[in-house]
Chain A
Amino acid sequence: MQDNVILQMRNIEKSFPGVRALGGVDFTLRKGEIHALMGENGAGKSTLIKVLTGVYQMDEGEIIVDGQKAVIRSPQDAQNTGISTVYQEITLCPNLTVAENMFIGRGADLLVKQKEYEKRADEILGNLGIPARSRQILGSCSLAVQQMVAIARAVDMQCKVLILDEPTSSLDDKEVNLLFELMRNLKSQGVGIIFVTHFLEQVYEVSDRITVLRNGELVGEYLTEDLPQVELVARMMGKELDELNSLGENEEKKTQNGEVFYEASSLSSSDALPFDFTIHKGEVNGFTGLLGSGRSESVRAIFGADKIGGGEVKIKGEAVKITKPIEAMKHGIGYLAEDRKRDGIIADLSVRENIILALQVMNGFFKPISRSESEAFADEYIKALNIKTASRETPIGSLSGGNQQKVILARWLLTHPDYLILDEPTRGIDVGTKLEIQKLVLKLAEEGVSVTFISSEVEEMLRTCSRLIVMRDRHIVGELKGKDLNQKKVMETIAGGES
């Protein structure tokens, strides 16, 4: 092979209980190259990085650094081999100086030979063109500079391979450019850089080569200039790209011509200001607005999740009282909470127990679902929603985010709700599952279920909802439907133009 190869990972295998995270992945990094590692959530990027940095131990495969087989059992081993990582969150000490941060933990004479170290730090910073001085307190530098100091620290440790894991996610454009300059500088000094990011433009701006992973498998390695952006996206997502495009076009969105299912007037809770809201049978609508605009608080009020302040609620025209989740559930309302980890999963319980939970609560304390019945329910929904789990008795906590979300969806579907509230059901899960969930929403609506769908990705809502309720500063400021349902109009309404 080429003699400028600095890192070679061959046939890397890594499995977790029930999931094969990496199935024989190869990865090659050359001297003086910026190599982007791309893939959707769950593709195996972070597992590969963690194997390389000694956080995980691989099951099979070998790692060759600089022509020699490397044994990496801990982050310390990785560092000794010349592999350094700079993570998304800065892991330095903001209350120490730049020089101290660069040399801490690497020699006991740090305090004695302070001057010497500061001189060396300034040299390195100068060489790399990092706009920081050695005696500055790190916390007083901008985030970008802090990140660069972390890189400088890594580089000074004779690093041959530098891993940058989402380094740009908290930087603004100017800072990103500074970082890129530093990366190019390091590249010219022969360092091999692995660049993990989800910003496609940045990949094309700075990287030489791209390796794409999907579902723990290697899709391929490409020269950046040979791979158009659309192709890259298609490779990352597989054939789902076409489906994704067609979904929005083919689906005829239902407008509200059915009967009204749920109606609230001046409903308020401890967290939500009074608002009016109506949803029809078989309608999909959405709440949108910036973070903190009150969209989640409003739907929580519908479900009775917070202390209800006041207001009137009618279901199918009849006045009802919903002050607790159980009352909402008894009236056919289901609620998938925004924070899956905190409010959704019961991590240590099995997939089966998580699926039957809501139905069991509705059935009541004294009518437990029998073991065989619950197993049948679990199997049915694992199959219907294509949930990837080792078995129905696997603890839900060990599933991937997307599969956890499917289990929670199954939990609510099992209660056969008339009205399902989905608050950010697609957050933090891979594109494939996102698509499945969107399809499911439309299918439910077809079957006559009313759905409120909330997502921070506006396109997703435009694709699924026939009506959007826009919130700003905890008030409803607009309701969009028909031809007003486009990104521009939504943005304008959120921003507070005409409403």
Chain B
Amino acid sequence: MKEKFMKFRKGGLGQLTIPLIAIAILILFNLIRDPGFFSIEITHNNDGNAVLAGNLISVINGASELAVLAIGMTLVTAACGGQDISVGAAAAIAGSAFVKVLKSGPSISGGTVLLAFLCACIVAMLFAAFNGVLVAVFKIQPMIATLILYTCGRSIAYWINGGATPTVDSPIIRAIGRFIPGVPLPTPVLIVAGVTILFMLIFHFTSLELFTQSVGINGSAARLNGINDTFIKLLSFIILGFCVAVAGCIGVSRLELINHETLLLDVEMDAILAVAIGGNNLGGGKFKISGSIIGAYVIQILTTTLYAMKVSSTDVKAYKAVVIVLLVVIGSPVIKAKFAKLMARGRSSKQRVSMKGAK
């Protein structure tokens, strides 16, 4: 029992405390501000489906792309000790490839969508491998290495569809971006759940977690234990490439068009932020995927709250920054150490009191 309690205190929850508290505070704040903020109701959408609607649903739905990207970003961060800033641009490329294949045939069938998604995955993973080679083989700092694709990615996306921003009109795509008939939850939410389960399975059936952490914490020691650290780093980028493709396809399906200029614009910074809010060390090493996913939802609730408070879209970023500064400072090693000390002092004084009582 005691051991369990210790585990709970030290390893299990420690890293997730701050993001969970942040979510709790944001929810509480919203409930006080507007008790109906999180009410969920069943409405009928244009297709006549009974679906769930409400702020909570739109938060969870809206954070889908970010949550998927945060998963991949966590792995790259852990293995390479740096971040990929090209995920937004790469998602635009993946989305463009997705649309290109969708539009290649006369009609869009289920098979076409699957083929288009596979193509988007391959394209995104190839570009990610390019980043990965620069980082893992040529030992270029991740931010510099991915700056290249960050700069040129949206131009490449522009070329894929000849500069046009074609729309996709298909019930299947609409179902992916919105609701599957008969299912009350938005499809992107289901996709995030699917991707999360996929990664849980990967972590369970492979040594990815142990090897990635080893490489991130001490690459030299990992190498001498037979781990191919170059491969692990490259692999983390390729996995991120898969996440980028998923996020890009969700984004395209939501809008039913590809706009290479605006698709997932600036998402890389939010993805990195989600990793950081999740309590992961941006310098690499130990990580918790769950932290990053929660981090993604924190960012989304924050944005939704601000919009709900009728903060103008130009001002939102500034308000967001204030909250994020708070979160990051509270999560900083200095504050954490201070807090731990305070806790220890509280404990020992309690002990002293109980000892006195015993006497």
Q: Could you tell me if A348 and B217 are in contact, using CB atoms closer than 8 angstroms? A: yes
- Produce 1/0 per residue, B207-235, CB < 8 A to A: 11011011001101111111110000000
Residues of A within 8 A of B228 (CB): 326
A303 to B222, CA, bound (A): 14
Q: How many B residues, CB 8 Å from partner? A: 28
Across the interface, B224 reaches (CB within 8 A) one of A337, A347, A363, A368, namely A337
A343 within 8 A of partner (CB): yes
Contacts of A349 in B (CB 8 A): 210, 213-214, 217, 286
Residue B138 is within 8 A (CB to CB) of chain A in the complex: no
What is the size, in residues, of chain A's interface with B at 8 Å between Cβ atoms? 33
A325 in contact with B224 (CB, 8 Å): yes
- Which chain A residue shows the least CB distance to B227? A361
Partner of A368, one of B205, B213, B220: B205
* Cα of A305 to Cα of B220 in the assembled complex, Å: 10
Q: Which of A324, A348, A367, A393 contacts B286, CB < 8 Å? A: A348
Contact of B210 with A342 in the complex, beta carbons under 8 Å: no
How far is A365 from B226 in the complex, measured between Cα atoms in Å?
11
Q: Does B33 contact A (CB under 8 A)?
A: no
Residue of B nearest to A362 (CB): B226
**Which chain A residue shows the least CB distance to B226?**
A326
Which residues from chain B contact A393 at a C-beta distance below 8 Å? 7, 10-11
A342 near B221 with CB under 8 A, answer yes
| Segment 289-330 of A: residues with Cβ below 8 Å from B | 303, 305, 324-326, 329
Are B224 and A335 within 8 A (Cβ)? yes
Query: Does A51 interact with chain B (Cβ within 8 Å)?
Result: no
B354 at the interface (CB under 8 A from A): no
Please tell me if the beta carbons of A368 and B217 are within 8 angstroms of each other in the complex: no
The B-contacting residues of A in range 326-358, CB under 8 angstroms, are 326, 329, 335, 337, 342-349, 353, 356-358
Q: What is the distance, in angstroms, from A462's C-beta to the closest C-beta of chain B?
A: 28
B210, A360: Cβ atoms closer than 8 Å: yes
A391 within 8 A of partner (CB)? yes
User: Measured between alpha carbons, how far is A324 from B214 in the docked complex, in Å?
Assistant: 18
**Given A337-B221, A343-B221, A357-B225, also A366-B205 (CB < 8 A):** yes
Q: Give the complex CA separation of A305 and B218 in angstroms.
A: 15
Question: Complex formed: what's the CA distance from A362 to B205 in Å?
Answer: 16
B6, B213, B224 — most chain A CB neighbours (10 Å): B224
**Known contacts A325-B226, A358-B225, A368 near B206 by CB under 8 Å:** yes
Contact B222 A346 (CB under 8 A): yes
Contact of A368 with B207 at beta-carbon distance under 8 Å, contacts A346-B213, A349-B213, A349-B217 already known: yes
When C-beta atoms are compared, the residue in chain B nearest to A60 turns out to be B348
Excluding A325-B226, A342-B218, 7 further A-B contacts by CB distance (< 8 Å) are: A324-B226, A337-B221, A343-B220, A346-B222, A361-B226, A363-B207, A365-B208
A and B contact pairs by CB, cutoff 8 A, 29 listed: A59-B348, A303-B224, A325-B223, A325-B226, A326-B226, A326-B228, A329-B226, A337-B221, A342-B220, A343-B221, A343-B224, A344-B224, A345-B218, A346-B218, A348-B285, A349-B210, A349-B217, A356-B210, A357-B210, A357-B225, A361-B226, A364-B207, A365-B208, A365-B211, A366-B205, A366-B207, A368-B207, A393-B7, A393-B11
3 tightest Cβ-Cβ pairs between the two chains A and B: A326-B226, A361-B226, A325-B226
